[in-house]
Amino acid sequence: MNCRMEPIQREQVIAKYLSRVLEADAVEEFEGHYLGCDECFDELRVSEKMAAELRRSNLTWRRSGGISVLQFSHDAELTRSAGELDELRREVLEQSDTRVIIDLSRVTRIDSAGLGQLMSCYSHLVRNHGSMRVVNVAPEVKKVMDMTGISSLIPAFSDEQEAVKSFN
């Protein structure tokens, strides 16, 4: 099938499609079209990959007093549908430091899936003779952690230096 879209137009449609701001009938039209259109199909795959790369870069590592600190660089949710959940697991599991502080200052919301992910990171680190702390937990997130008893397992600190010291 020949694509009747100009490259610029295709780029815009795909960007809107991926960020879910395309109107319902335009979504239907595009979905009906791209499976049969090599140009749109390829462009969509490339754009998806780039979007995934961007999401991945939300987590960054830094060192504080000899301890690794994992931090979100922009606002994030640790909820079932959020890309940050996978990202968090990957980052914690695919590195060798076992003493890790997770800075939650940019995390605005957490649900049971997010709590589960924090727990599985914690278990992984403890199994490998390490431990985990969380710092700068927003009040709404802290409330959920307290309610579910996770706070009694994973120590939370408001001061990063205190968190660093607590490892010794």
- By CB under 5 A, name the binding residues for Zn ion: 3, 37, 39-40
DSSP secondary structure, 57-79, as one string: TTEEEEEETTEEEEEESS-EEES
Q: What is the DSSP letter of 151?
A: G
Nearer to Zn ion, 7 or 65 (CB): 7
Query: What SS3 state is found at 36?
Result: coil
The least CB distance from residue 63 to Zn ion, in Å, is 47
Q: What is the distance between the alpha carbons of residues 90 and 79, in angstroms, rounded to a whole number? A: 16
Nearer to Zn ion, 3 or 126 (CB): 3
The least CB distance from residue 45 to Zn ion, in Å, is 13
The least CB distance from residue 138 to Zn ion, in Å, is 43
Closest by CA position to 32, among listed 23, 19, 41: 41
Nearer to Zn ion, 37 or 115 (CB): 37
Nearer to Zn ion, 37 or 101 (CB): 37
Provide the 10 A C-beta neighbour count for residue 42: 11
